[in-house]
């Protein structure tokens, strides 16, 4: 019989499609040495009893206890790691002012590697404790501190995709916080890509360099062009902010007489491995371009409530074939939890559908067919994120990584209200999605390794 590194037994929830959740009741998950799910075995499968007889009682066999469930690890498609230092503050002013008054000053402090280490160690541990097993990070303009973030992800066992941020435009960035010039920005980015690729060789769960123009206003045309070329040369992921707010969307139309999507595409920045944050103001032509190029949207519902002047029509974008995942956007979004963001994604979509201004008649108040369900929000936080990054993550399925959260619904301090031993498992799933707190997340695994445990 095939030898597995580890076998888990228990009930799991995983996305079958963007709208449907599959319930795997008391299944076995057989993990190989590379941390991949090699086999998923149902209780009525011929192998099931044989595997149990062979592995039960062994050190590498783990059965969930009553009231515990597996979820896939979450994929956070948009985190500003340095902004963890100001999370929860400064959410009372518009984007442009917020960047200049609060955010650029705090990010400029990451030239200090001791400060960077403190914040980065903490944000990676916090995200893991919240069930986030993969994160797509913006660091800062500083290449050393950005590399330190990649190293911390590598050490702590999180799958980190990390970008050294490029902001070389002297018209839009303060003197105290920007790349020295375009040439330096591109040279530092290339050096950073090579260093992270080297680090990846010794990182089981993977660590990836990401080409990261902060957003169009931050960058000169030459930098945007050079970054597109670097992404092609090294086949990297790309991330930026796209059509986020009235001001930002308007700035790009003034500068290029087109929307962000087409401007980014002109610079070679929309590709299969591109992920664009926010995208609230995409029109149908932009959406078509995203679908055609394989560019994904990172939906950041909490942040959008503060800075995006709008609710993004996620349901509509899904009908256009756009790949979509979920982002916390720390610290535009205050919460490090994708549970919180999944909840907000549902709530925002319901407010978009119904509308909010009671001075208008019911039928004119909202945008029909805009709602998404908690199942769809779960898809965004898991399988949708995996697809957006073109990685085999976000599903508890064969040939995917064993990136998992073990949820305990029975804690007295954070009880999930399940009073019937035979409660419908679909209802259990919904209660988990709406009510879980970090205490309920007992263990987190990435690529077959335990990376977080709450004793």
What is the contact surface with ligand GUN in residues (CB under 6 A)? Answer: 80, 95, 99, 103, 214-215, 241, 244, 303, 307, 329, 332
Our CB check for Fe ion shows the closer of 82 and 366 to be: 82
- Nearest CA-CA partner of 128 in 451, 440, 455: 451
The least CB distance from residue 259 to ligand GUN, in Å, is 16
- Nearest CA-CA partner of 350 in 365, 332, 331: 365
- CA dist 455 and 452 (Å) reads 10
- 95-103: long-range contacts, CB 8 A cutoff, minimum separation 24: 95/244, 95/245, 95/247, 95/248, 95/307, 95/332, 96/247, 96/248, 98/307, 98/332, 100/174, 103/331
Q: According to the binding rule CB under 5 A, does residue 329 interact with Fe ion? A: yes
244 binds, among Fe ion, ligand GUN, none (CB under 5 to 8 A by kind): ligand GUN
The least CB distance from residue 302 to Fe ion, in Å, is 11
The least CB distance from residue 282 to ligand GUN, in Å, is 16
The phi-psi region of residue 42 (left if phi > 0; otherwise alpha if psi is between -120 and 50; otherwise beta) is beta
| Cβ–Cβ < 8 Å for 335, 85 | no
Our CB check for ligand GUN shows the closer of 99 and 345 to be: 99
| Cβ–Cβ < 8 Å for 193, 236 | yes
Interface region with Fe ion, contact rule CB under 5 A, candidates 83-91, 262-270, 325-333, 436-444:
325-333
- Nearest CA-CA partner of 392 in 379, 404, 383: 383
The least CB distance from residue 56 to Fe ion, in Å, is 47
Q: Classify 349 as helix, strand or coil.
A: helix
The least CB distance from residue 217 to ligand GUN, in Å, is 8
The least CB distance from residue 401 to ligand GUN, in Å, is 29
348 binds, among Fe ion, ligand GUN, none (CB under 5 to 8 A by kind): none
- CA dist 192 and 162 (Å) reads 10
Our CB check for Fe ion shows the closer of 277 and 377 to be: 277
The rounded Cα 168 to chain-centroid distance in angstroms is 26
- Please report how many Cα atoms fall inside a 13 Å half-sphere around the Cα of residue 236, on the Cβ side: 29
The least CB distance from residue 49 to ligand GUN, in Å, is 52
215 binds, among ligand GUN, Fe ion, none (CB under 5 to 8 A by kind): ligand GUN
Our CB check for Fe ion shows the closer of 163 and 366 to be: 163
Our CB check for ligand GUN shows the closer of 80 and 371 to be: 80
3-state DSSP percent of the chain in helix, strand and coil, to 5: 40, 20, 35
Our CB check for Fe ion shows the closer of 179 and 329 to be: 329
- Nearest CA-CA partner of 267 in 295, 308, 288, 287: 295
The least CB distance from residue 310 to Fe ion, in Å, is 16
- Nearest CA-CA partner of 89 in 438, 422, 334: 334
Our CB check for ligand GUN shows the closer of 142 and 214 to be: 214
168 binds, among Fe ion, ligand GUN, none (CB under 5 to 8 A by kind): none
Draw the binding track, 249-288, toward Fe ion (x: CB under 5 A; -: no contact). Answer: ----------------------------x-----------
- Nearest CA-CA partner of 322 in 367, 355, 283, 351: 283
Our CB check for ligand GUN shows the closer of 332 and 394 to be: 332
- Nearest to Fe ion by Cβ — which residue? 329
12 binds, among ligand GUN, Fe ion, none (CB under 5 to 8 A by kind): none
| Cα-based distances in Å from 19 to 102, 312, 317, 364 | 39, 18, 14, 27
The least CB distance from residue 107 to Fe ion, in Å, is 12
**DSSP secondary structure string, 134-189?**
EEEEE--S-HHHHHHHHHHHHHHT-EEEEE-EE---TTTS-TTSS-S-HHHHHHHH
Our CB check for Fe ion shows the closer of 329 and 340 to be: 329
267 binds, among ligand GUN, Fe ion, none (CB under 5 to 8 A by kind): none
The least CB distance from residue 332 to Fe ion, in Å, is 5
Our CB check for ligand GUN shows the closer of 143 and 241 to be: 241
Count of residues touching Fe ion (by CB under 5 A)? 2
Binding site for Fe ion (CB under 5 A): 277, 329
């Amino acid at each position: 019989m095939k030898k597995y590194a580890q076998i888990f037994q228990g009930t799991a929830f995983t996305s079958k499609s963007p709208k449907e959740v599959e319930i795997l009741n008391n299944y076995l998950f057989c993990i190989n040495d590379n941390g991949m799910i090699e086999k998923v075995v149902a209780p009525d499968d011929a192998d099931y009893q044989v595997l149990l007889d062979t592995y039960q009682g062994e050190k590498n066999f783990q059965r969930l206890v009553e009231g515990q469930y597996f979820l896939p690890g979450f994929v956070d498609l948009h985190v500003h790691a340095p902004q963890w230092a100001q999370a929860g503050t400064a959410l009372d002013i518009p984007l442009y002012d917020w960047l200049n008054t609060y955010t650029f000053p705090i990010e400029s402090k990451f030239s200090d590697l001791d400060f960077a280490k403190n914040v980065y160690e903490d944000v990676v541990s916090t995200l893991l404790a919240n069930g986030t097993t993969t994160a797509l990070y913006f660091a800062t303009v500083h290449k050393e501190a950005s590399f330190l973030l990649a190293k911390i992800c590598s050490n702590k066992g999180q799958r980190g995709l990390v970008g050294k941020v490029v902001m070389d435009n002297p018209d839009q960035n303060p003197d105290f916080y920007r790349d020295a010039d375009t040439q330096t920005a591109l040279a530092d980015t290339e050096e950073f890509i090579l260093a992270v690729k080297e680090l990846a060789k010794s990182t089981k769960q993977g660590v990836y360099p990401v080409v990261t123009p902060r957003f169009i206003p931050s960058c000169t045309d030459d930098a945007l062009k050079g970054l597109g070329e670097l992404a092609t040369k090294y086949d990297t992921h790309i991330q930026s902010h796209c059509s986020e707010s009235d001001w930002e969307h308007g700035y790009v139309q003034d500068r290029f007489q087109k929307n962000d999507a087409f401007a980014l595409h002109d610079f070679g920045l929309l590709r299969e491995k591109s992920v664009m944050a926010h995208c609230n103001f995409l029109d149908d032509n932009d959406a078509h371009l995203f679908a055609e190029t394989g560019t994904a949207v990172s939906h950041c519902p909490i942040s959008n409530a503060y800075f995006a002047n709008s609710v993004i029509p996620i349901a509509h974008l899904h009908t256009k074939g756009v790949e979509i995942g979920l982002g916390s956007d720390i610290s535009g979004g205050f919460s490090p939890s994708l549970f919180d963001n999944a909840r907000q994604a549902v709530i925002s979509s319901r407010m978009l559908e119904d509308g909010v201004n009671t001075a208008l008649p019911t039928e004119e108040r909202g945008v029909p067919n805009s709602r998404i369900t908690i199942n769809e929000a779960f898809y965004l936080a898991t399988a949708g994120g995996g697809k957006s990054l073109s990685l085999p993550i976000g599903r508890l399925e064969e040939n995917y990584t064993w990136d998992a959260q073990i949820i305990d619904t029975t804690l007295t301090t954070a009880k999930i209200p399940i009073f019937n031993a035979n409660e419908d498992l679909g209802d259990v799933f919904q209660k988990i999605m709406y009510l879980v707190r970090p205490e309920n997340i007992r263990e987190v695994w990435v690529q077959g390794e335990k990376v977080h445990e709450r004793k």
